[in-house]
Amino acid sequence: MELKRVVVTGLGALTPVGNTVEETWNSLLNGKSGAGPITHFDASLFKTQFACEVKNFNVTDYIDRKEARKMDLYTQYAVAAAKQAVEDAGINVETEDLDRVGVIYGVGIGGIHTFEEEVGNYYCNKEKGPRFNPFFIPKMIADIASGQISIMYGFRGPNFTTTSACASSSNAISDAFNYIRLGKANIIVAGGAEAAVSESGVGGFNAMHALSTRNESPETASRPFSKSRDGFVMAEGAGCLILEELEHAKARGAKIYAELVGAGLSADAHHLTASHPEGLGAINVMKYALEDAGMKPEDIDYINVHGTSTPVGDISEVKAIKALFGEHAYKLNISSTKSMTGHLLGAAGAVEALASVLAVKNDIVPPTINHEEGDEDEQIDYNLNFTFNKAQKRTVNAALSNTFGFGGHNACVIFKKYSE
């Protein structure tokens, strides 16, 4: 069976550094941090008092207030990014075969704001008996974002949610890629959303010692590959890609950003939260993605790394890159856009895939910010080009994007310039 080719025809973004694709991309190129004091709740008693929050979000720019009240914040973010992407792709619901348009969205946690609110209200008023909002469950469950997007447009193709912690939306993109190239859909709205900057979200990650506590300087807290890194910065938002079968896209005259050519999945099978110290799972997932794409390591120009700014994770990813890419590793550009956006958890893969697509399209690599001279870790090879502090122009024919999740879940996708 001959596999179909899959291209990216639309993008949507709602991130801590921009409420549109253009704003987000410009912020990334200019090294803008999205970190600041937490506003969603009073964090004064928490070890970490900052995060990368979405700013100035008005849900009624996308849906009416009545519908928004039926959605958790993460679903509102998901719908916003999807609407941007659908409009960018120019999908006409009047003429499209909606049975062949799907939605696959990733999320790591889901409706945590709704869960906190409803359970908190219950325990505060327990003596009155069990009283819950009838929308409690439909707002909270992880799959509801993909359902809401399909309902909004009438998309009746494959529809589900992927949940693999921080690899969730890369899994969504991988699954969408496979459904399209196997001929099971013409178009899939693929992405991820997360809104876990909440008391239990921040408190839970604090209890694990996973978050940076650089409260005095939030904007410099996410510092991947620097010796002084002390954990990741929580973030929220959504990213969305319209993936489309090539001939279908050409027939309707769609613009094409890039071609999705490979995807890989693997497991560390090592530890509940820590990556394998030698990067064995990371080596495998990149190798599988390259094999899937029919490419060699030297065909890659840019790696958008997982790069969370954690002491162990950054080292193991560098080891994996050196092990797989060999001497070519020193010809790559490597960068962590999490240094600016923070870690969007289940939405990270979608936002970073978007950044990789735009790097391919525009021949420019966004930087890894917050690295200072003299802040080198002896376990990291600084002869590699981490694209520190300033975007770099270069030909980017192919970009690889890594995401690794708690539980040892690894996902990798590869985009390259589209040509006939």
Catalytic (active-site) positions: 166, 306, 343
Question: Could you say which DSSP state residue 27 is in?
Answer: H
Q: Name the nearest CA neighbour of 333 among 369, 384, 274.
A: 384
Distances (CA, A) of 279 to 276, 287, 406, 407: 5, 12, 14, 14
Cβ contacts of 343 within 8 Å, gap of 6 or more: 52, 166, 222, 232, 233, 234, 235, 308
CA 29-33-34 angle, to 5 degrees, is 115
Kindly report the number of other CB atoms within 10 A of residue 396's CB atom. 24
Q: Please list the residues that pair with 12 across neighbouring strands.
A: 240
3-state secondary structure of 320: helix
Let me know: does 111 contact 70? Beta carbons within 8 Å.
no
Using the CB atoms, write b or e for 248-264: b if 16+ within 10 Å.
bbeebebebbbbbbbbb
Distances (CA, A) of 169 to 65, 220, 351: 27, 26, 9
Biggest alpha carbon distance in the chain?
68
Structure tokens at 87: 């409009």
d(CA 373, CA 141) in angstroms, rounded, equals 45
Q: Name the nearest CA neighbour of 244 among 90, 94, 22, 420.
A: 90
d(CA 249, CA 57) in angstroms, rounded, equals 31
The one-letter amino acid code at 363 reads: D
d(CA 337, CA 31) in angstroms, rounded, equals 9
The one-letter amino acid code at 330 reads: Y
Q: Name the nearest CA neighbour of 16 among 75, 70, 77.
A: 77
